[in-house]
Amino acid sequence: MFRRSMNRRSRATTVAKHQALSLCLMILVMAAHVEAGQNWPSFRGPAAGGVASDGKIPLEWSVSAGRNILWKTPIPGLGHSSPVVWEDRVFVTTALQSQGESNLKVGMYGDVESVTEEEPFRWRLYCLDRNTGAILWERQSYRGKPKVKRHPKSSHANATPCTNGDRVVAFFGAEGLYCYDRSGNLLWQKDLGVLDWGFYRSPAAQWAGGSSPVLHENMVILQCDVQKDSFLAAFDLKDGTLLWKTPRTEVPTWGTPTVHAAPPHPQIIANGYKHIGGYDLRTGKEIWRMTGGGDIPVPTPIVAHGLVYVTNAHGRMSPLYAIRLGARGDISLKENETANEHIAWSYAKGGNYIPTPIVYGDLLYCGSDAGRLSCFECETGKLVYRESLDPQGAAFSASPVAADGRIYFTSEKGAVYVVQAGPAFKLLGVNQMDETCMATPAIAGASLIFRTRHHLIAVADHRPKPGTNGL
């Protein structure tokens, strides 16, 4: 009896140990899966939201001293595209002038003239190791003289690539659309013709494009609002076949479209001057539209709390709209209206010209190109506060990103302003990247990856962890 009892206890103990071991292994696997799943696949991450749900990003760092700098990798050429991340890989594009270095003029000014460049360029896609910054491969997509000129503040590689882990798509505007596998093999390419972005009031002033491609399941989605024959289109990710193409009666714009795949109707949301609208995700058919925008739209629409937040600015209008996801038909506001059946609330003035806003929690933050930060209640539109990020008047082109209760605003001169999320404005600190910064950073786990004038830089707390002997 005693022996049988001991055997039962021994078996029970063994089973318990196996169960505990299995649980530990499951936790480790889940942890690895969570880490691997912290991807930033397109401009401003999933659905252009700009928010990372996990990861402890440092409050302070120093590039010159190497403090909280995980790696720093030179990227040749000039490009304003953001880095994108999938698991252990980082992708970024650039355009290299064959001889010399491309000039860049930043700051607040009103020059509309184009840059004249006679030298051939090389358009490239880079793949880096997320943990070390080592360049794994680089591919040249196109070589030749630019088909469209650029603005002095622009580049020939403005569009952020997108990826699903297996494939990465790079869009170089008039120089084409390219799809590679994760090893850098070219799978297909598309020549979309001469896509002429510029000031619609002065067609000779070409500024180069800015709208980035977006992936959804098997589709590559492009918004190309140009001087002639503007369109929204979807291509098959497998082979580049055109799935649908919807004409847009629109002047040149620079915003990336946003995909909302959930009810009440899956749609692609596009910013615009003549036509802000939503399109059926599968067919490209227009679902809703509205007029009433600034004449050079740049910010990307974002979705939160059952609303689409759209802003733009230039000319006589600088609106901010909160549009209900179930909108249909022409939802344009009538004169002196601020809301209707489909628009929850709006402001006629005070919208953003360049940076895309961000929703964090129940608040909407709009950081302007002049560094004015306006905070609104998402559902009501009530202004919570309006403050200046920099009393000296810094210029901003990058869009904010957020994680761990903080929002990061990057100025063109490379100062990163860290603001505490919440109803009271609190500037937690300012970090210097020591180079010009035009691109929106990416968040990958506990890393914040910046694209500066000459480098990719990963900011992360890499102090030794308890119980380890190194980094």
Q: What is the pLDDT of residues 86-106, one digit of tens each?
A: 999 999 999 999 988 999 999
Q: How far apart are CA 465 and CA 458, in angstroms?
A: 18
Residue range 204-249, pLDDT digits in tens: 999 999 999 999 999 999 999 999 999 999 999 999 999 999 999 9
Q: How far apart are CA 447 and CA 351, in angstroms?
A: 30
Residue range 367-388, pLDDT digits in tens: 999 999 999 999 999 999 999 9
Domains present along the chain, CATH in parentheses: 37-459 (2.130.10.10)
User: What does the pLDDT read at residue 178?
Assistant: 98
Q: Residue 2: pLDDT above 70?
A: no
Q: How far apart are CA 314 and CA 419, in angstroms?
A: 27
Length of the chain: 471
- This prediction's pTM: 0.90
Q: What are phi and psi of 133, to 5 degrees?
A: 80, 0
User: What does the pLDDT read at residue 168?
Assistant: 98
Closest CA to 52 of 37, 66, 64: 37
- Consecutive H or E run containing 189: strand 186-190
In this prediction, residues 412-422 reach a mean pLDDT of 98
Do 307 and 325 meet the contact criterion of CB atoms below 8 Å apart?
A: yes
Contacts of 368-376 with CB under 8 Å at 24 or more apart are 368/313, 368/396, 369/108, 369/395, 369/396, 369/397, 370/108, 370/395, 370/396, 371/395, 371/396, 371/409, 371/411, 373/409, 373/419, 373/425, 374/350, 375/423, 375/425, 376/320
Q: How far apart are CA 333 and CA 313, in angstroms?
A: 17
Do 51 and 44 meet the contact criterion of CB atoms below 8 Å apart?
A: no
Residue range 4-50, pLDDT digits in tens: 444 444 444 443 433 333 333 333 333 333 343 479 999 999 999 99
Q: Which residues pair with 377 in a beta bridge?
A: 363
Q: Residue 331: pLDDT above 50?
A: yes
Confidence of residue 463 (pLDDT cuts 50, 70, 90): low
Comparison of pLDDT for 392 and 89, the residue scoring more: 89
Do 170 and 79 meet the contact criterion of CB atoms below 8 Å apart?
A: no
Least confidently predicted of 36-50, 153-167, 287-301, 425-439:
36-50
User: What does the pLDDT read at residue 9?
Assistant: 45
In this prediction, residues 338-345 reach a mean pLDDT of 98
User: What does the pLDDT read at residue 393?
Assistant: 87
Q: Residue 459: pLDDT above 90?
A: yes
User: What does the pLDDT read at residue 13?
Assistant: 43
Q: How far apart are CA 233 and CA 224, in angstroms?
A: 8
Helix (H), strand (E), coil (C) string for 330-370: ECCCCCCCCCCCCEEEEECCCCCCCCCCEEECCEEEEECCC
Pairing of strands 214-216, 219-224: antiparallel
